[in-house]
Structure formats: C-alpha cells, structure tokens
Amino acid sequence: MAEALSLHSKQVLAANQKDIQKSTEKGSAFIDRLSLQQGRLQNCIEDMRAIASLPDPVGEVIEEKTYNELHFCKKRVPIGVLGVIYEARPNVTIDIATLAFKTGNSVILRGSSETLETNQAIVNAFQEALCDFPCAIQLITTPDRAAVTQLLKMDAYIDMIIPRGGYALHQFCKEHSTIPVITGGIGICHLFVEASAKFIPSVEVIVNAKTQRPSVCNALDTLLVEESIAKTFLPAAVKALQEKGVTFVLDEKAWNLLDTEREKNPNHFRKAQEADWKTEWLSLTLGIKIVESIEYAIQHIQKYSSKHSDGILSEDKKQIERFVSAIDTACLYINASTRFTDGGQFGFGAEVAISTQKLHARGPMGLKELTSYKWIVQGNYTVRGS
C-alpha cells in the first residue's frame, strides 16, 4: 500500500492541489488540515512503512490461565468493520486505512466533500495494491449527508464508528448512531505553571504547545499561572508567545497584570468571557488565567477540560502528585508539551483517533485499540456444577 501510494504520489498531490484551490476562501487553519503538500504525503508514506513493520497484534494472547478445570485463552482479534467519518484531513484517509488493514479490519471511509479528489486518488492507489481485496478499504463518494445518517444505523454490518472532526460531528454521531461511537478529538487543553516550575524551560514548553501546530486538537488553549509567580513569569511568557504571533484572552487578574504589554499592542489582548474557557481555539489565540493556588487550577481544569491533554509544569513532587491524581484526562503531562498527544509520538506508528471517552480506548488509538478479543475456553468435556 505504501509502495502504491508512493508510485501514485504525483496524482495524489495533484488531486490535493485541486481540493486546496477549491477551498482557498476557507482560511489557513482549514488549508493546513487539508494539505498533503510540502513533504506531508512523504511523511505519511514513511509512517505507513513504520506501521507495516510493527508487530501484528492480531492473534496475540493477552491473557492465559487455568481455572475451574478449564484452560482460558484471551486472544486478540480484529474488530470487524469500521466506519470512519471525518472532515478535511486526507492524512486521516491514509492513517486509518493503513491501521485498519494492518489489524485485519475492513474500513468504510467518509471524508468531507472538500477532500474528495485527494481521498479518491489515495483510495484508488490502495485498492490497486489490495488486488483481490479492494473492498477492505472503501470510500463513500456521495456528497449527500443522508449517507452518513444511513451509515450510523447499520449496526448489523458495522462494529465501530470513529468520527474525526469538530463538536457538531461528534454530537451528531452520538445522537444518531446505533453503533458504538468513539468520541474524542476535541482538545480544550490546559497547562498549569506551578510556583516551583523552572521559568525559561516552562516558557519553551508553552510556546511549543501553543504555536508548533496551532490548528490541531492537542495545541494549548488555556494557560493557568499560579498567582505568586505570575508577576515575573507571565510577562516573559507573553513576550515569547507574541514573537510567534499569539494573541491573548485574559482573565481579570492577568488583564491588570499585563497592562504594560497591552498598552504596546492593544489589539493583541482582550478580556475573557465565560465562553472563552470552553473554546478550542485551533489558532494562535491563548486564554490566560491567574489562579491563587493549585486547587483553583485543578477546579478550572475539572470544569473546562475536554479531558484530552492537560499538564503541569512544576519541580514540586507533592504538587505534581496532587495534580496527577485529581485530573482525570486522557493524557496528563508533567513538564512536557501537550503536543505529544499523537499516535506517532506515543510510538503507535500512527493513530485512528484520539479518544476522550473512557470506554474501550482513551487517548491516541493505534493498532491494539483497533482490536477486540475472544475467549477460547478448552475443557475435557467439562460441565458446570450446580
């Protein structure tokens, strides 16, 4: 499949260019997600080869025991048929088709109409490689949204629905699907700078989390700073972020503290409304709030986090422990950027989704997360006693 995609890369990139040209008015975050240009297709192909070389999880014995005069063997099996509904990110087509095929699953893909040219070129290449099994990877090409509603009701044929997109798509799937849905992908991500944190490295982590790729779900949305260090820490952090083009949404205390910075660039700052804390920015905007103590940071995160990626910057083991046990989030970071929430960065080769629900899988979903298991129970004509 990687070979076929490589052979057809010109066609795929040309198709992608067509899709991009049709969507120029949609803004840079949209185009960034849509684009396979500038080496991204090549990266995807390299990721595919990495996935191909990973051990096959199917057939793995997860657990084995003798109990009750029976031999129990819990064996990993494919899930079956996956339905994937996603927006304008053609790398999703590549990642998911590869992971699904590697794990013995069939996949029915439903990308957005804006990526139809790219997706068709990719799936054509894959189906060519699959020879006798082209139906293992299928693409729904009808732009009609009714096709999605119909797909979501086909529980007799499809075992799992993976929506990848915004809140509205996840909500739609949750409400209409009779098939189990993996929800996630919405990251309202927090970093809390605790009083003991090292200043300069903390600023680097924050800049990385916010600006390294602001259009994706694991980018930082809200920075919480402990009040006792805010006066020295915050101006330095804001300066570094401004150099990367970040603008700020501030709580009352941060607004007052940053008056010098505001005077210089008044249009880089505005006061936060309640709704801002519930916003996944997907852009170079950052919410900042000053909190009296770790307890208030925890309360804020418990209230507003989408349970995707949250972290603490601190040198104090006790405070770190307190934070880690109180915050129930898929990926919890200690002195690291939230940008690491990604299948590749977790060593999974790639990912089908980032789950923020608690069933089946949580966080990045790679190969194992695309499998189920069956129990094989061997006896010697064994019967159950009364």
- Where along the sequence are the contacts to a second copy (CB under 8 A)? 65, 67-68, 70, 72, 77, 79-80, 155, 159-160, 174-175, 178, 180-182, 198, 201-202, 204-205, 208-209, 212, 313, 324, 328-337, 339-340, 345-347, 357-360, 362-363, 372-384, 386
Question: How far apart, in whole angstroms, are the C-alpha atoms of residue 58 and residue 368?
Answer: 8
CB of 287 to a second copy, least distance (A): 20
Closer residue to a second copy, CB minimum distance, 171 or 228:
171
Distance between start and end Cα atoms, the chain: 54
For residues 100 and 190, what is the distance between their CA atoms, to the nearest angstrom?
A: 31
What's the min distance (Å) between Cβ of 332 and a second copy?
5
**Burial (0-12, 13-18, 19+ Cβ within 10 Å), 67:** exposed
C-alpha 333 chain-centroid distance: 15
C-beta closer to a second copy: residue 169 or 257: 169
b vs e for 309-348, b when ≥16 Cβ sit within 10 Å of the residue's Cβ?
A: bbbbbbeeeebbebbeeebebbbbbebbbbbbbbbbebeb
Q: Name the strand (E) or helix (H) holding 362.
A: none
Query: How far apart, in whole angstroms, are the C-alpha atoms of residue 15 and residue 239?
Result: 41
Pairing, β 220-226 against β 269-271: unpaired
- Which CB sits closer to a second copy, 34 or 365? 365
* CB of residue 271 to a second copy, shortest distance in Å: 27
Distance CA 334, CA 187 (A): 17
| Residue closer to a second copy (CB basis): 289 or 307 | 307
Q: How far is the CB of 276 from a second copy (least distance, A)?
A: 20
The Cα–Cα gap between 281 and 51 comes to: 31
Residue 219's Cα: distance from chain center in Å? 10
For a second copy, give the closer residue by CB, 166 or 180: 180
Which one, 18 or 174, has the nearer CB to a second copy?
174
**Is 87 within 8 Å of 166 (Cβ atoms)?**
yes
Q: Which residue, 17 or 357, is less far from a second copy as judged by CB?
A: 357
Q: Judged by CB, which is closer to a second copy: 271, or 360?
A: 360
User: Nearest approach, Cβ of 368 to a second copy (angstroms)?
Assistant: 10
d(CA 297, CA 316): 15
Residue 108 burial (10 A CB sphere; 0-12, 13-18, 19+):
buried
Neighbouring residues of 247: CB distance < 8 A, sequence distance ≥ 6: 267, 268, 269, 270, 284, 285, 286
Q: Which is nearer to a second copy, 171 or 265 (CB)?
A: 171
- Taking the C-alpha atoms of residue 114 and residue 100, their distance in angstroms, rounded to an integer, is 23
Q: Pick between residue 125 and residue 237 the one whose CB is nearest to a second copy.
A: 237
